[in-house]
Structure 1
Amino acid sequence: MPLFWLLGFPHRLKWWTPITRLQLRLSFRRLWLGSNNPLRLFFWLIQPFPWRFRVPPQLTAQELRNFKNIRTRRHDGILQLRCIPLFQYRDTPLRSIYRIYEYLCSGENYEVGYEVQYFFFHPSQWRIEDIPDPRDDNQERYAILASLIDVLVNSFNWRYDLGLRRSGNREDPQPACEVAPEWAREVKRLAEPLDFEPGFLKEENAFVRRNIYLSSAYFYNV
């Protein structure tokens, strides 16, 4: 019996209403078209424990330098997952920040722009200051995370000044300015430079202030 039919069969039953709001049938169709392994990804998506997805084991900045096709190898189906309600409910701001870290270090800057947009328009309207301390034991990775949070704060406040709102409704009043969480403000500058883009014109940004040479341009896509 087709899986699409099974997912849609009980749609008239009252007890099924909360489940239909999760758009499981549409979600499976999205994954089928946008994932290398849609069945594996779909069953990962609907398994209930733990409810909030955990941050996966991370690579170092040096390992990510030469990591090719990170979107398909580390984040299969992410373009579709960002549009799926169940994924949005179970995703966390910390996981999103780590995805930005991976895209930055692997040089897939266009993915940085997509992820920043996803964070900005997330239905839960995550506040940057509420991002918990990951207590990352890798000094370079920790410094990159803190720096990208600082850049994210600037880019969100820049969007607010342009009139953009996280709800998508420009008529909403301007929200309070975003601020970085305290833990990010306390992360120290690296003793040795970490240069991902040799030869590029060093712009003044939060990365450079921590001795990390990365561009922040893709944080400002609208």
Structure 2
Amino acid sequence: MGLTRLSLRTSISPLRIRTSISRLRICPHRRALSRMLLWPFPWYLKHASSPDIVDSGPDEKLIARIQPGIRQLHCIPLFRSRDTSLSSIYRMVEDLCAGHSLMLGYECEYMWYHAEERWNLSKVPDPEESDPVLYALLASMVESLVRAFNYKLALGLRRNGDKYLEDDRHIDFPRETVPAWAEHVKPIDKTLDLLSDEQRSMSGAADTNFSKRNILANTGDLYNV
């Protein structure tokens, strides 16, 4: 009996229940987040942005309101297993529109370390977004992530945490590819400028994956390693 109790006490749950509870306790709206995580239908969580996010302007506090506790959720296994690549990209678009470059970098890093096949960028499903501006932002973000991830892969970094820095494996690797739907998303009618004053003064600050759709945005934080 003593050995059994010891085994139960020292074994590590793949869900890390105690750690997850501790993280949820420091989240805002922790009861609502707990219900979201524990309610199993549908299994994959959906995060869709409001078109109003496009007109929010620089507002880092906005992200805390529309993505409550996201940094803690990133570390909770149950959330990670139920989250989706498309939801993560929606959050990145929100970070970009709100001018929260730090959160954009965090969310990109979170996505990078999702090495499951369903998180391959080529498998990001078509959001079929009805708002043309938001649709263009999502498509441009996916294309920019493909470029950023392939840059990291070329350095010898891998999404599962492996590193190949001293042999040919850093140049011989399967590259991320753009999902077919993103290539067909059209430019928006009116220019959307998401650059900060500092970025606007820098040559080449605008990401071409966005500018081809009439959106001015800087995605340098996607390349953090």
Whether 2:204 is the aligned partner of 1:211: answer no
Amino acid at match of 1:209: K
Query: In the alignment, which residue of structure 1 is the partner of 2:191?
Result: 193
Match of 1:100 in 2: 92
Cα distance in 1 for partners of 2:51, 2:21 equals 29
What is the CA distance between 1:61 and its match in structure 2?
A: 4.2
1:153 partner amino acid? V
CA gap of 1:158–1:57, structure 2 versus 1, over 3 A, is: closer
Q: Match of 1:208, as an amino acid?
A: S
CA RMSD of aligned residues (A): 2.4
Return the alpha-carbon distance in structure 2 between the equivalents of residues 217 and 57 of structure 1.
Answer: 22
Matches within 5 A, 1:47-196: 47-56=39-48, 58-65=50-57, 67-125=59-117, 126-171=119-164, 173=169, 175-196=173-194
Task: Evaluate the alpha carbon distance shift between residue 80 and residue 70 of structure 1 in structure 2; reply closer, same or farther with a 3 A threshold.
Answer: same
1:170, CA displacement in angstroms? 1.2
Q: Which runs of 5+ in 1 are unaligned?
A: 1-8
Please tell me whether residue 27 in structure 1 is matched to residue 20 in structure 2.
yes
Give the aligned length: 208
Cα distance between partner residues in 1 of 2:184 and 2:125: 13
CA contact (8 A) 1:88 1:123 kept: no
Distance (whole Å) between structure 1 residues aligned to residue 196 and residue 101 of structure 2: 16
| 1: CA distance, partners of 2:142 / 2:20 | 30
TM-score, with structure 2 as normaliser: 0.84
Residue 147 of structure 1, CA deviation: 0.6
3-state SS, counterpart of residue 69 of structure 1: helix
Can you list the C-alpha shifts for 1:121-173, whole angstroms capped at 9, x where unaligned? 01425110100100101111111111111110000000001111111011595
Which amino acid is the alignment partner of residue 29 of structure 1?
A: S
Question: For residues 112 and 28 of structure 1, do their structure 2 counterparts lie closer, same or farther at Cα, with a shift above 3 Å needed?
Answer: same
Measured at CA, do residues 71 and 193 of structure 1 come closer, stay the same or move farther in structure 2, by a change above 3 Å? closer
In structure 2, what is the Cα distance between the partners aligned to 1:131 and 1:209?
21
Using the alignment, how far apart are the partners of 1:175 and 1:90 within structure 2? 28
Equivalent-residue separation in structure 2 for 1:147 and 1:82 (angstroms) = 23
- Name the counterpart of 1:5: none
Which stretches of structure 1, 4 residues or more, deviate above 4 A after TM superposition?
171-174
Alpha-carbon spacing, 1:134–1:210, altered in 2? closer, same or farther (3 Å): same
Contact 2:63 2:94 (8 Å CA) reproduced: no
Identify which range, 145-154 or 167-176, moves more after superposition.
Answer: 167-176
| Cα separation, partners in 2 of 1:41 and 1:198, compared to 1, 3 Å | closer
Secondary structure of 1:100's match?
helix
Match of 1:20, SS? Answer: coil
